[in-house]
Amino acid sequence: MESDRQALLGFSRRTVLGGALAAGMSTVFGVSPVHATPVSHPRSRVAILGGGVAGLTAAHELIERGFEVTVYERRALGGKARSMAVPGTGMPGRAPLPGEHGFRFFPGFYRNVTDTMRRIGFPGNLNGVWDNLVDARQVKLSRQGAPDITVPGLRDLATITPDDLRESLAAAAREAADLPASESSYWAGRMLVYLTSSDARRLGQWEETPWTSFIGADTRSPEYRTVLSRLPTRSLVAARADLASTRTIGSISEAFFNLALGNGKDGEADRVLNGPTSETWIDPWVRQLTDLGVRFEVPATATGFDVRGGRIAVVTVADRTGYETPIEADHFICALPVEKARRLWTPEILSLDPGLAAMDNLFVDWMNGIQFYLRHPARLCEGHIAFVDSPWALTGLSQNQFWARSLGDHYGDGEVQDCLSVDISDWETPGMLYDKPAKQCNPEEIAREVWAQIGAHVNDTRVLLPDDDLHSWFIDPGIAWHPGPGLNTDDDPLLINTAGSWQDRPNSQTAIANLFLAGDYVRTNVDLATMEGANESARAAVNSLLDATGSNAERCDIHPLYQAPELEPLRGIDEQRYRDGLPNMFDIG
């Protein structure tokens, strides 16, 4: 009788046990799941395709609400966010050196993914995995033959006037680069235009405007183009300034600006994890979800959809040998990257949801990392460092200074004392040594080239990174190397928010009743290919699924980017001006 009663309520033994385990984790680890006890809704099986941040987030939200969840992942759980063991580097009693797709970065305006982190138990942490985030104390812009650059903070927005705001922004620009007063003032004026633009103008005008056009980069000095056009796009968000949407770059710039003022904060502006990503975040997450009842199938590659009666009836997945198995579920969440998801849209699927065809217009590009393992600690910066003049738009992080377990004591052969993790954002510009873009180099050439570009920045006045300090290196294994120019491939490209691309990006709810989308290409508030965007999109997909099932479960919280209320009157004026076909009141050319 008890089992019958549970079935009527939509419960299963696994979800009941999951609730007990969740309650236990709240006691042991100090985390409180949103739904430790399942709520009443029709029993539903959900298949999630993809086990990156989006897929794991969707699984987390659904299992807490009593659904039966299976995640199918083709390669490794965690996706681009995971860390991975460097083959052949582990010694008896010591873990292999940790490699990664690229270093992790958690700016303080991330609020969705960090909310999830608070709900992932970690021994000894009151706030779960979130307590593994530590503040980076500096952000540096390294220039060849010039001192490192820091940008000052800004005054409290509650008492600042538009003229004061323009003056403060111009001062920051002058401090950050050797710009003439006229150029720094012009840039500050453009930022003021964006900060006071209404949402309607941002979507209707600035979404269609490339960043270079908005800030007038083409008619200004090389220094202006480098620091205020190329750096915020190539180095920070792996976009091309001539292609990137002003709405995207402007909104992220606004988010950092608000952080400097102490607004919309989940933490400090620049945060990193206190150890390898999988150890401090992904592995504890997977263990918790497994304990709650989530099933994981790895490797399992989605290869096709079977549509019946206007719904997805079956998804075919292949194992590592290529053997295909049909899987059934009541609902499907496609949490694959855009370049993988759009390959699955058959003519039948597109006939049911023609809007999905626009995903073919979305642009992806390379942004992959390399790790340099060092024999001594790298004393370059107490946080992220941008190598401003590097042809390949390099940014880096010396990681061991933030880790609770030192590399020298726990990883590799004992000789490695630090890891300089470097992101390569520009794979198409010729480098210094070989006069070839990174896409045309072999792994050894990339390692030598990146090391030389970094050395040109940090060893220009005194040697901070000697050649004999380099122990070894590791390149993102998502890149496949093939002989011949232009034949290398990247299995982990990044979505680039090109101007006008919002109209081609789907919502989480498709026109197919039981198919939902989660991924950093889906429309989100953060509007950028990030862990935050992946997490937010998964929350939206789960909310859509809850609506579709008629569940009475509490909907997932979705946290938008902060907008300063003090500027709301100016944005209100701009909304009317935009409707009247007039420019922003501060847009004076």
Instruction: Catalogue the long-range contacts made by 257-262 (C-beta closer than 8 Å, 24 or more residues apart).
Output: 257/154, 257/191, 257/195, 258/109, 258/157, 258/562, 258/564, 259/107, 259/108, 259/109, 260/153, 260/154, 261/154, 261/155, 261/156, 261/157, 261/564, 262/156
Assess contact for 249 and 237: CB atoms under 8 A: yes
Token pair for 231: 């750096």
CA distance 498 to 133: 31
| Confidence grade of residue 165 (pLDDT, cut at 50, 70, 90) | low
Lowest-confidence region among 90-104, 118-132, 169-183? 169-183
CA distance 174 to 182: 10
**Tally of helices (H runs) and strands (E runs) in the chain:** 19, 23
User: Across residues 294-311, what is the average pLDDT?
Assistant: 97
Bridge pairing between strands 83-85 and 98-100: antiparallel
502-525 residue pLDDT tens = 999 999 999 999 999 999 999 999
DSSP string, 214-261: HTTGGGS-HHHIIIIIIIIIIIHH---TTTBBHHHHHHHHHHHHHHHT
Most confident of the following: 124-128, 226-230, 562-566: 124-128
CA distance 145 to 260: 28
Q: Is the pLDDT of residue 178 over 70?
A: no
Identify the pLDDT of residue 152: 38
CA distance 535 to 523: 12
239-293 residue pLDDT tens = 677 888 999 999 999 998 898 888 888 988 889 999 999 999 999 999 999 999 9
Percent of the chain topping pLDDT 70? 87
To the nearest whole number, what is the mean pLDDT of the chain?
A: 88
Q: Could you tell me the end-to-end alpha-carbon distance of the chain, in angstroms, rounded to an integer?
A: 75
Helix, strand, coil percentages (3-state) for the chain, rounded to 5, are 40, 20, 40
112-164 residue pLDDT tens = 999 999 999 999 999 999 999 999 988 888 888 877 775 533 334 444 556 65
Q: Is the pLDDT of residue 173 over 60?
A: no
Q: Is the pLDDT of residue 177 over 80?
A: no
User: Across residues 378-401, what is the average pLDDT?
Assistant: 93
More confident: 221 or 291: 291
Q: Of 205, 245, 25, 145, nearest to 455 (Cα)?
A: 145
3-26 residue pLDDT tens = 333 333 333 334 333 444 444 444
Identify the pLDDT of residue 232: 72
Q: Is the pLDDT of residue 2 over 60?
A: no
H or E segment and range at residue 289: helix 283-292
CA distance 116 to 519: 16
Assess contact for 510 and 353: CB atoms under 8 A: yes
Percent of the chain topping pLDDT 90? 73
Assess contact for 141 and 176: CB atoms under 8 A: yes
CA distance 422 to 387: 10
- Residue linked to tokens 């046990």: 17
Lowest-confidence region among 149-158, 181-190, 311-320? 149-158
Q: Is the pLDDT of residue 201 over 50?
A: yes
User: Across residues 322-326, what is the average pLDDT?
Assistant: 97
Assess contact for 161 and 213: CB atoms under 8 A: no
Domains of the chain by range and CATH?
Answer: 2-75+298-359+506-549 (3.50.50.60), 95-137+269-276+367-490 (3.30.9), 155-260+563-579 (no CATH)
CA distance 248 to 529: 10
User: Across residues 27-39, what is the average pLDDT?
Assistant: 52
User: Across residues 409-425, what is the average pLDDT?
Assistant: 96
User: Across residues 475-490, what is the average pLDDT?
Assistant: 87
- The DSSP code for 556 is P
Most confident of the following: 243-252, 456-465, 489-498, 500-509: 500-509
Identify the pLDDT of residue 568: 96
CA dihedral of 407, 410, 416, 420, whole degrees rounded to 10: -30
CA distance 39 to 26: 18
- The DSSP code for 42 is -
